[in-house]
Amino acid sequence: MNSHEEILCDADGLGLILDRLARDILDAYGKDVPLRLVGIRSRGVPIAERLATRIQAVTGRPVPIGAIDVTLYRDDINTSPRWPVLLGTEIGFPVEGEQIILVDDVLYTGRTARAALNVLLDLGRPARVRLLAAVDRGHRELPIQADFAGMHVRTTRDDRILVQITPADPVDRIVLLRAPGHQPRSV
């Protein structure tokens, strides 16, 4: 039996989510606080880029963006039979004393966010780090929560959430892949 695919939002819906997240960030920080967005590879980076564009449109100031690769910081790196592909960490600004927002596509167990914090703290000590996730699907294994979440989706552990976003993907949308045997939720 195949998994059931449910489109949670299309390109317009994802755009509205990003608009709201940008407003939430501005409400939390104000227009005068310089922010740094750091996307967790791979889909956190284009989300961070789009958020930065929206924030800059309101503040008139560029929002620096960085990218973190958590591959070597994951606590499950030795459990995969495949050799990891490293995409690299690229942060072209100091993190010491800065207001940083870590941007991820999906918050699930919290392990990726924990690994991203480890990478970030190896680069310096920010004044504050907050976490933004386009989708929070629950099932935490660590005491980590999103400060900003685009949507909350109830899932089982076997379900998957895909945030598809250009240029990493051909389309912009959020898809829920229900595990085989799971009854689709009623709307």
Give me the pLDDT at residue 87, please.
Answer: 58
Pair 135, 163: CB distance under 8 Å: yes
Residue written as token pair 């229900």? 178
Output the tens digit of pLDDT for each of the chain's 187 residues: 456 899 999 999 999 999 999 999 999 999 999 999 999 998 999 999 999 999 999 999 999 999 999 887 645 545 555 554 555 789 999 999 999 999 999 999 999 999 999 999 999 999 999 999 999 999 999 999 999 999 999 999 999 999 999 999 999 999 999 988 765 444 3
Closest residue by Cα to residue 104 from 44, 169, 166: 44
Report field, pTM of the whole predicted structure over 0.75: yes
* pLDDT tens digit sequence for 18-32: 999 999 999 999 999
Which domains does the chain carry? 11-155 (3.40.50.2020)
Terminal CA-to-CA distance of the chain, rounded, Å? Answer: 22
Which residues make Cβ contacts (< 8 Å) with residue 103, sequence separation at least 6? 37, 38, 39, 40, 44, 45, 47, 48, 51, 132, 133
